[in-house]
A and B are shown apart, each in its own frame.
Chain A
Amino acid sequence: MAKLSLFKNYLNVLLAQSKTHFTQQLLVIVGLGLGILACSAILHYSLTEFNYDKQYDDNNSVYRITLTLPELDLGGDGLALTPAGMKSLFHDLTNEQHVATQILPMNTFFRLYYGEKRLVFPNVVAADQDFTQIFNLPVKHGELKLGTPGTIAISESLANKLYNKSNVVGQQLSLEKDTVLTITAVLADLPHQTHLSFDAIVSLKTISGVAPNMMRGLRGSNFYTYFKTINEINLAQVTSQIDARLSETMRVKVNTIMQPLTSIHLTPNLLGEMKPSGDKRLLWLLITIVLLLLMITAVNYFNTNSAFYSTRLKEISVRKAIGASEKQIFIQLLLDGVVVLSIASAIAVVIAEVFSPQLSSLLNINLSFNLDLVLTVALMALLLNLLGNLYPSYKAAKVPTSAGLKGLQDDLHGRKGLSRTLLVCSQSFLTVILLVLCFVMYEQSSLLANKHVGYAKNNVYLAPEINPTEYSQKFESFKLRAEQIAGVEKVTIAEQFPTMPFNDSTSALTISGQPKSSLDRVPLVGVGFDFIESLNINIIAGRPFKKSFIADVYRKDKNDNEYFGGIVSRALIEQAGWSSPEMAINQTISWENKHVTIVGVFDFVEFNSGVTSQTPVILGLSYSSQGRWTIATKLSDGAPSDTLAKVQHLYDEQFDYPNASFDSLSMLYNQQYKDFFRQLTATLILTLIIVSLTLFGVFGLAKFASERNTKEIAIRKILGAKAGNIVNLLFKKYFYPILLSCFIAIPAAWWVGKEWLNAFNFSGTVTLEYLVISFASTVVITFITIGTVVLNASSRPPAETLRSE
């Protein structure tokens, strides 16, 4: 009971002291709140990212087989998908000692129907019966029967969407309208922290019946293959055996990588992932920023606590004189910290709740009020109390009682407060660096937005893929009708548009019968008529494809020789040894059974971020390697606002694809740099927070210094000091050291900016302008902050000060 009363006593004193030092205390709390919020949000995000796929049993023994094809420029770091025969191959090589399963993403190949209605949105996969031995998914109703043909399990949210209830076991859907799928289980929706992504899972035996050819062979990459080790396995040996076998069957060098399940999410840039991966680099960058932020917040808190406790040394000494032990004083000050940090934490949680949508979209996590967030905030508050309050509390409790009572000691760290000044200087140093980094990032983002990519990406919209039958039977009619809609400039088709990975390439070429070993593995893109015109690609020799030129059109002879017209890049011309683009026109490029007649040369198209002006590319008219065609619609400038909706409606009608959504090509282009833009946004926000925290810190310290020096200021004024002398008195303490630290920060900022830009293929420079603006803005803001406090202090009438002393 006495302890409770003592705590009440501490609280009363703290509240009264906070009223006296209201501005400083408010800044401390707001600063701590911001710091806690930023640290908690990023920490929460980082922990989420590091804990993907840990909910599955024995997750440490589960691997996914992925492939890299080093000789092909696929536009990614490898393939998440493997050939259909991978599971059998793995079993053969390991004598079936381990469990393996395969998942087939079905949306590209099959359509799911609910009665007569085509289900567009669900993400559907097929898996074999061993799936459940690796992925233990919670079943809400029924039983998962992946070993039985004609069965499907759907997620609870899909069940509710289709049937308005969750228990839909026994209901039926169909595959391509003709294969009945009975729902045998309703699964709980997949958690956020898994790399798996699907709304429905069909038994793979169903697909074996419908498309038996898909289930065989070691070519093509359509299946995710996972295995769980039951006993010891020599992964290196199995990997090299698979490499050898696949290199033989796929006729290209293959490197196999066994990805541990829990590392899948943070391994970026694999093509064919079920959902976007996390970015380990971004994560480490954010964690570094969290540590910096935590350090700055802790330093500010340390400084203000030292200052605040210095004003309370008399009270502390009185308490000790009347019976308080050092331990009790230490606990009192720590409890004061707990109160202050609790208020700051509450502010952090409220801000997180209010700005939850914005923060969630930035970090892609749920930041609304939940236990995890509260725990993370509490952890941050605890850390800050340890880092920012433990030592000042200890020092304050240790101050000799007699010295404290006589006012002989009024600063925990001595009169000079050197360590405090150094800490404030280090914050300003960091502020200059971060401001420069922001400028550099901003310039880089402008460069990316305005970069010459060789094609016009604005007003071009890509529709969902169509298959070869739809291409041959319906595309021409769609194109004809779509181009009649007001505002539609062109409609074209291709296997890959810029921003998509390449999926085919040549083998060693011969040009007009002469071998050209330097031109091996040239990316080959199948395109339709109007591709060049729709994307405004610059033709520097020859012409675009024309229907009137019969030789342009793809044809196959009875010996399976394929002939088609091609437009090649300038880089190919240069690497083939032609002295001018014109010399290549009407020449024939051949490899295997393919023969391309060059009808034109284009300058350069950045098909994906790995393509440079030195990358040779062939555009082949109507050539198809995968049979996955994408339609693009180019709208004219000033097209009526409903033009795209009309085209989408036509697409729905033509291809039986309700509510199809078209992607803007410029949006897809920006998505290639989404990590960069996330880094930019995160850095901008965090810089803003760090700058605010630094200013809070500087303001609080200047205010404290001015309060502590009020008597000195008053006496100096009585003795004839002018306002300028008084201002100089306080500026000497904080402003001049900060000025010096900003100077020192300039070369450091230049180096950091330069290193960051080095990670890009092309980049701007760290200009003198950025360095000067960052330096000047930090100095000016600090000057204004300290100046405001100093002017306020120096304008106080001396008599008033001395009377209160």
Chain B
Amino acid sequence: MLELRNISKTFSTIETETTALNNVSLTINRGDFIAITGPSGCGKSTLLNIIGLLDKATSGDLLIDDNSVTAKKESVLTNIRQQHFGYIFQSFNLIDEITVYENVELPLLYQNVAKEERKKRVEQVLAATNMQTRQHHYPKQLSGGQQQRVAVARALIVEPSVILADEPTGNLDSKNGYEIMNLLCDLNDKGSTIVMVTHSQSHASYANRVIQINDGEIFEELIEQRKVANG
């Protein structure tokens, strides 16, 4: 479904050039739950951003359903993002000025979805994330765990083929962290493909593929059965 071929990413300043990713190749299949782990600054988030079309690789090729998207225009990438990806961030990245309902609804507005359809889908995802009673609250009125649930609901609303989660539990306490991980497992069980960046070995163990990155390269890939939720 998603294939990265020899992806490299370098960041340049006047004095230095830093290689964040070095010839990374990776295939992501439908239904995968992939955890990307590694030390700070190893290039995990950069890899996730490139997979999610939020950033461009310096070299290499990215294929979605066997089609290269590397040289596509920004407007085409926007369409692909809308159709394929849902994003969950460590710091939630909800828009503070609008309510939970409006935050979740926002991606549908950008896709020009009709009002009735929007309402139905927002209610569905809020129910699925157990946030329906908080729909009129503003993000700042919620706990961290609740905010991340809203972020998950917002990611799900467009029914993405791939959910990209960047340290989704990084800002949460352990209880809320587990709740979010269980939510992601449920989604994966229902067929969603999940790519998650995490520092936590414990949370990585929820995935069926764990990719360890070191100094911008894939150091090791472990394929194992997912552990049970609280196990």
Contacts and interface: CB of A to CB of B under 8 A. Distances in A.
A540 to B, nearest CB: 82
B111 A323 contact: yes
A87 interface: no
A61 interface: no
Contact of A9 (B87, B93, B102, B155): B102
Contacts of B93: 314, 318, 321, 405
B87 A321 contact: yes
B55 A402 contact: yes
Nearest to B99: A12
Nearest to A401: B54
A2 B114 contact: yes
Interface string B95-118: 111100010011111111111001
A317 to B, nearest CB: 8
Interface residues of B, number: 35
DSSP majority for the A interface?
helix
A561 interface: no
Nearest to A3: B112
A400 B46 CA distance: 13
A323 B109 CA distance: 9
B74 interface: yes
Contacts of A5: 105, 109, 115, 118
Contacts of A9: 98, 102, 106, 109
A140 interface: no
B54 A323 contact: no
B81 interface: yes
A410 interface: no
Interface string A1-28: 1110110010011011100000000000
Listed residue (A1, A321, A327, A405) with the most chain B CB atoms within 10 angstroms of its CB:
A321
A170 B86 CA distance: 86
B49 interface: yes
A323 B110 contact: yes
A314 B98 CA distance: 15
B158 interface: yes
B113 A2 contact: yes
A2 B102 contact: no
Contacts of A400: 54-55
B201 to A, nearest CB: 24
B106 A321 contact: no
B114 A1 contact: yes
B33 interface: no
A328 interface: yes
Contacts of B108: 2
Given A13-B98, A326-B74, A327-B75, A1 B115 contact: yes
Listed residue (B45, B52, B54, B87) with the most chain A CB atoms within 10 angstroms of its CB:
B54
A564 B126 CA distance: 109
B206 interface: no
A622 B55 CA distance: 96
B64 to A, nearest CB: 16
A699 to B, nearest CB: 24
Contacts of B113: 2
A325 B112 contact: no
A12 B97 contact: yes
A324 interface: yes
Contact of B109 (A2, A12, A315): A2
A402 B105 CA distance: 22
B106 A319 contact: yes
Nearest to B53: A401
B97 A2 contact: no
B78 interface: yes
A406 B158 CA distance: 23
A416 B133 CA distance: 46
Nearest to A322: B107
Contacts of A321: 52, 54, 81, 87, 93
A715 to B, nearest CB: 20
Nearest to A16: B97
B124 interface: no
Interface residues of A, number: 29
Nearest to B92: A318
B89 A323 contact: no
Contact of B78 (A1, A17, A324, A406): A324
Nearest to B113: A2
Interface string A311-343: 000110011111111111000000000000000
A401 B55 contact: yes
Contact of A328 (B81, B105, B110, B114): B110
A13 B138 CA distance: 12
Interface string B181-213: 000000000000000000000000000000000
Contacts of A13: 95, 97-98
B149 interface: no
Contact of B98 (A12, A401, A402): A12
Contacts of A320: 54, 78
B44 interface: no
A324 B55 CA distance: 15
Interface string A731-770: 0000000000000000000000000000000000000000
Contacts of A16: 96-98
A71 B84 CA distance: 89
B48 to A, nearest CB: 9
Interface in A295-320: 314-315, 318-320
A750 B193 CA distance: 72
B121 interface: no
Interface string A384-416: 000000000000000011100110000000000
Given A2-B113, A2-B114, A13-B98, A405 B54 contact: yes
A315 B98 CA distance: 11
Interface string B114-150: 1100100000000000000000000000000000000
A400 B82 CA distance: 17
Nearest to A7: B109
Contacts of B87: 321-322
Given A318-B93, A322-B87, A326-B74, A6 B55 contact: no
Given A402-B49, A402-B55, A325 B118 contact: no
A314 B154 CA distance: 16
Contacts of B155: 322
Contacts of B97: 12-13, 15-17, 315
Contact of A315 (B54, B95, B105, B114): B95
Contacts of A326: 74-75, 78
Listed residue (B89, B109, B112) with the most chain A CB atoms within 10 angstroms of its CB:
B109
A328 B81 CA distance: 14
A323 B49 contact: no
B165 to A, nearest CB: 12
Contact of A324 (B94, B110, B118): B110
A2 B113 CA distance: 6
Contacts of A17: 97
A771 to B, nearest CB: 42
A314 B94 CA distance: 10
Contacts of B111: 2, 323
12 contacts: A1-B115, A2-B113, A5-B115, A6-B109, A12-B102, A16-B97, A16-B98, A322-B107, A400-B54, A401-B54, A402-B49, A402-B54
Interface of B: 45-46, 49, 52, 54-55, 74-75, 78, 81-82, 87, 89, 93-98, 102, 105-115, 118, 154-155, 158
Given A315-B97, A322-B155, 18 more contacts: A2-B111, A6-B110, A9-B98, A9-B102, A9-B106, A12-B102, A16-B96, A318-B93, A318-B94, A318-B95, A321-B93, A322-B110, A323-B106, A325-B74, A326-B75, A327-B75, A402-B49, A405-B93
Closest 5 CB pairs of A and B: A16-B97, A325-B78, A402-B55, A323-B82, A323-B110
